[in-house]
Amino acid sequence: MSNPPPPMERYSVQPIGYIESDFPDKFGVPRQPGLANAACASLVLVPPYDDPLAVRGLEAFSHLWLTFVFHQSPARWTPLVRPPRLGGNAKVGVFASRSTHRPNRLGQSLVRLSAVDSRAGVRLVLAGCDLISGTPVLDIKPYLPWAEAHPEARAGYAPEPPPQLAVRFSDEAEAALAVREDAASLRELIRQVLAQDPRPAYRKGAEERIYGVRLRDVDVRFRSADDDGTPVMEVVEIVTA
């Protein structure tokens, strides 16, 4: 006879810090880390974890694993989910996906470490981040490429990065960018985010609807367009939020 399962245990966790990023909302956040390298973020550690001793030596690593909570997702889970890579209709098991609708709402993200600022507490400056502002982070671990990079690994229904669409800016959008000090970095952030077509997978057709995605302090309004038979994302206007 098999042994009975161990009794269910409850574990208490608490955030070690919170994310400040270019993404104030869920909509538009890249679906995987590293797809928008222009996305800037910081992880601000909170007491008692903001002791500089806790990050001694971390600057020697270029990338970090962050364990975090999908805090804006409902506190429920479903056994079947619809991955965007399958068009938003086909279902797979939740454990065969990276869906936010998980039993414990835990996520894992691989980010690039740009700097460690320990002048007042601890702030980790990050790049390629796919986390919204306010995301609670539970743990940090250095990334070890010799142990964790396996180019020969199978990637199921997502064997390659998602395709990138061309992005064009209207005259009004270009004018709005021209007066900003961060024009170049904001323009590149907008391009990288929209190139992945952040619209819901089931809405990706020849619709004329205008969408809005918040990035930094602006509302970027865009729509799907056609350029001689080639789909493009067109930035219609950029409005200060």
Q: Where are the domains of the chain?
A: 17-148, 166-240
Q: How far apart are CA 225 and CA 211, in angstroms?
A: 12
Q: How far apart are CA 241 and CA 235, in angstroms?
A: 16
The architecture in CATH of the region 17-148 reads Beta Barrel (2.40)
> Tokens in use for 129?
């981040």
Q: How far apart are CA 188 and CA 123, in angstroms?
A: 24
What are the helix (H) ranges across the chain? 145-148, 171-178, 183-194
Q: How far apart are CA 142 and CA 110, in angstroms?
A: 9
> What counts of helices (H) and strands (E) characterise the chain?
3, 12
Q: What is the pTM of this model?
A: 0.88
CATH label, 166-240, candidates 3.30.499.10, 2.40.170.20, 3.30.2310.20, 3.30.70.920: 3.30.2310.20
> Tokens in use for 191?
């391009």
Q: How far apart are CA 80 and CA 96, in angstroms?
A: 9
Domains 17-148 and 166-240 share a fold: no
pLDDT of residue 202: 64
- Kindly list the distances between the CA atom of residue 98 and the CA atoms of 3, 12, 183, in Å, as whole numbers in the listed order: 32, 23, 33
pLDDT of residue 167: 95
Asked if the bond preceding 7 is cis, omega within 30° of 0, the reply is: no
Mean pLDDT in runs of 10 for the chain (241 residues)? Answer: 74 94 90 84 97 97 96 87 84 91 92 94 94 97 94 89 91 95 95 91 68 95 85 93 76
How many CB atoms are located within 10 Å of the residue 218 CB? 19
> Tokens in use for 101?
């609708």
The one-letter code for the residue type at 48 is P
